[in-house]
Amino acid sequence: EPEVTQTPSHQVTQMGQEVILRCVPISNHLYFYWYRQILGQKVEFLVSFYNNEISEKSEIFDDQFSVERPDGSNFTLKIRSTKLEDSAMYFCASLAPGGGEQYFGPGTRLTVT
Amino acid sequence: QKEVEQNSGPLSVPEGAIASLNCTYSDRGSQSFFWYRQYSGKSPELIMFIYSNGDKEDGRFTAQLNKASQYVSLLIRDSQPSDSATYLCAARSGGSYIPTFGRGTSLIVHP
């Protein structure tokens, strides 16, 4: 069964460093998302991406964040200058054709020290 | 501000019992509703989605939607210890592809 994959599973970085989180969505899906979940808190929407451009973004998704689809398969989230409060699980998701179900990847745990 | 509210729990039920998880939402324009299961440290896993008022059954799971009351529920029959997890409710407005998630309800099924 096709699935969303994410790398790395765990990233440790120092405050102020840039990180790139990678995702490979399910191949026939057209909408892609990034969410984050701070430990013990709710899943929060960051950004959605459709047709090679940002479709929607939340207030959390400020100038420190960017997304790219550098090729036909990868979908990346870049955080330019990480802060302690960026420590969270970051989930990539993709939306099934027809706009129904959204499938999540396994997540990347980002730890900023 | 779109809100999805869930009791954080934990909800504790004995093995074999029916677990009932509830969710309310604030946006009357919400049209699609989703239940996800999330084990600790793992990603949300879609269990069911429902669009129409009434019940939708899938195996041991039944989702119930009442749009007039802005209420969604998930029933788990014959609960198993492996059902112990946090259950996330999500609502999505018509014309949007962005669901709003609740904080989740922790379910504990004890043998």
A44-73 pLDDT, tens digit per residue, is: 999 999 988 999 999 999 999 999 998 878
Q: How many residues does chain B have?
A: 111
Half-sphere exposure of B27 (CA within 13 A, CB side): 19
A98 inside 8 A of chain B by CB: no
Q: What is the pLDDT of residue A7?
A: 97
User: Measuring CA to CA, how many Å separate A25 from each of A80, A105, A110, B58, B70?
Assistant: 23, 8, 19, 26, 32
Instruction: Kindly tell me if the per-residue pLDDT of A100 is higher than 80.
Output: no
Residue of A nearest to B105 (CA): A42
Q: What is the pLDDT of residue A97?
A: 82
Q: How far is B74 from chain A (nearest CA, A)?
A: 17
pLDDT digits (tens, 9 = 90+) for B32-48: 999 999 999 999 999 99
**CA separation for the pair A83, A64 (Å, rounded):** 10
Q: How far is CA A88 from the centre of its chain?
A: 11
Cis amide linkage into residue A70, ω under 30° from 0? no
Q: Do B103 and A41 touch (CB under 8 A)?
A: yes
- Helix (H) or strand (E) holding A23, with range, is strand A19-24
Cis amide linkage into residue A25, ω under 30° from 0? no
